Amino acid sequence: MLSESPIGIYDSGVGGLSVLRAIRDALPHESLLYVADSAHVPYGEKTQEFVLQRAFALADYFVSRQAKAMVVACNTATAAAIAQLRKRHPGLIIIGVEPAIKPAAHLTHSGVVGVFATTGTLASPKFAALVQREAPEVRILLRPCPEWVRLVEQGELTGPAVDAAVQAPVAELRAAGADVLVLGCTHFPFLRDAIQAAAGPSVPLLETGAPVARWLRHQLQEKGLLRATGAADLHLETTGSVPALAALASRLLGKPHEAAATPERWR
Ligand code: DGL
């Protein structure tokens, strides 16, 4: 493995681009290969076994592309698969994402924290263990929001439909006393403006892109795999519609991007 090798990043769809943004900021010389597993979005409503099998397929694909690291830019897939992924590929740096429960427990004054995530994440033993470990004294209110994933996948980030979808879940958790809200799905940072407007300006909305990017940087550095010079490049692939990913990624990342199809074998 070489420092020039790419870093593979994937999510069920475009949500992981919120993590990719942070990785590009923290690691400006790395080559990134992003796969949107759009043929199978949403993961949040699928079985744990299905999400695990997709994680295996994508990890094997990244290994076939000589990736030096893999980022599971999806809370649902991390909860379902990260331990088994590490067993399957012990030599690969594998980084996952999980809801920001620990910082939320530090920030709350009311002792009540609201978590927006997928059904899969919130129902997982890994999430239960995280809460038990990091926030045993805090009241954690759970709110699955599959509709928010759908809106982001359709490129609806602002406007009346978004405001309507965000209003009730946010109001419900605020009314129940939550003074910190955790965006526990990588799609949700793309709805940040609407969520913040519904929550009020003083409510912290916690996401995990930046800490994940710092942890990745640390791991690469430790293994002597950090690429410190040279131009970065970014390849976007999808198991679903190529034009749809190109259009959506261009919007979400703020400049035109091309996309390609992930080879059939891995779809
Ligand atoms: N972006 C994903 C997450 O962080 C999953 C959304 C979905 O496919 O349901 O959990």
Looking up tokens 């969520």, which residue turns up?
Answer: 195
pLDDT of 1 > 90? The answer is: no
**Which residue among the candidates 74, 79, 104, 180 is catalytic per the annotation?**
74
> What mean pLDDT is predicted for residues 214-231?
94
SS in 3 state form for 85-147? Answer: HHHHCCCCEEECCCCCHHHHHHHCCCCEEEEEECHHHHCCHHHHHHHHHHCCCCEEEEEECHH
Looking up tokens 């692939």, which residue turns up?
Answer: 237
pLDDT of 3 > 90? The answer is: no
> What mean pLDDT is predicted for residues 62-78?
98
Question: Looking at residue 136, what is its pLDDT?
Answer: 97
What count of other Cβ atoms lies within 10 Å of the Cβ of residue 40? 18
Question: Looking at residue 242, what is its pLDDT?
Answer: 98
> What single DSSP character describes residue 191?
G
Residue in 149, 188, 212, 252 to alter for ligand 1 test, most ligand atoms within 8 A of Cβ: 149
Q: Atom of ligand 1 at shortest distance to CA of 41? A: 8
Q: What percent of the chain has pLDDT over 70?
A: 100
> What mean pLDDT is predicted for residues 174-185?
98
For the ranges 10-19, 225-234, 237-246, the lowest mean pLDDT is seen at 225-234
103-130 pLDDT per residue, tens: 999 999 999 999 999 999 999 999 999 9
Question: Looking at residue 209, what is its pLDDT?
Answer: 96
Contact yes or no for 118/75 (Cβ under 8 A):
yes
Contact yes or no for 203/182 (Cβ under 8 A):
no
Question: Looking at residue 251, what is its pLDDT?
Answer: 95
Question: Looking at residue 50, what is its pLDDT?
Answer: 98
Q: Is 145 known to be catalytic?
A: no
Spatial distance between the Cα atoms of 120 and 6, rounded to a whole number of angstroms = 29
**Which residue among the candidates 185, 205, 212, 248 is catalytic per the annotation?**
185
Question: Looking at residue 231, what is its pLDDT?
Answer: 84
Class of domain 2-98+209-266: alpha beta
Contacts 24+ apart (CB under 8 A), 159-166: 162/191, 162/194, 163/194, 163/197, 163/198, 166/191, 166/194, 166/195, 166/198
Question: Looking at residue 39, what is its pLDDT?
Answer: 97
Topology of the domain comprising 101-206: Rossmann fold (3.40.50)
Task: Give the distance (Å) from ligand 1 centre to CA of residue 73.
Answer: 9
Question: Looking at residue 187, what is its pLDDT?
Answer: 98
Helix (H) / strand (E) element for 43: namely none
Do the domains 101-206 and 2-98+209-266 match in fold? yes
Q: Atom of ligand 1 at shortest distance to CA of 184? A: 4
pLDDT of 230 > 90? The answer is: no
Task: Give the distance (Å) from ligand 1 centre to CA of residue 27.
Answer: 24
29-62 pLDDT per residue, tens: 999 999 999 999 999 999 999 999 999 999 999 9
Q: Where are the domains of the chain?
A: 2-98+209-266, 101-206
pLDDT of 257 > 90? The answer is: yes
Question: Looking at residue 2, what is its pLDDT?
Answer: 82
Question: Looking at residue 207, what is its pLDDT?
Answer: 97
Looking up tokens 């990913």, which residue turns up?
Answer: 245
195-219 pLDDT per residue, tens: 999 999 999 999 999 999 999 999 9
Question: Looking at residue 121, what is its pLDDT?
Answer: 98
pLDDT of 168 > 90? The answer is: yes
Q: What is the pTM of this model?
A: 0.97
25 annotated among ligand-binding-site residues: no
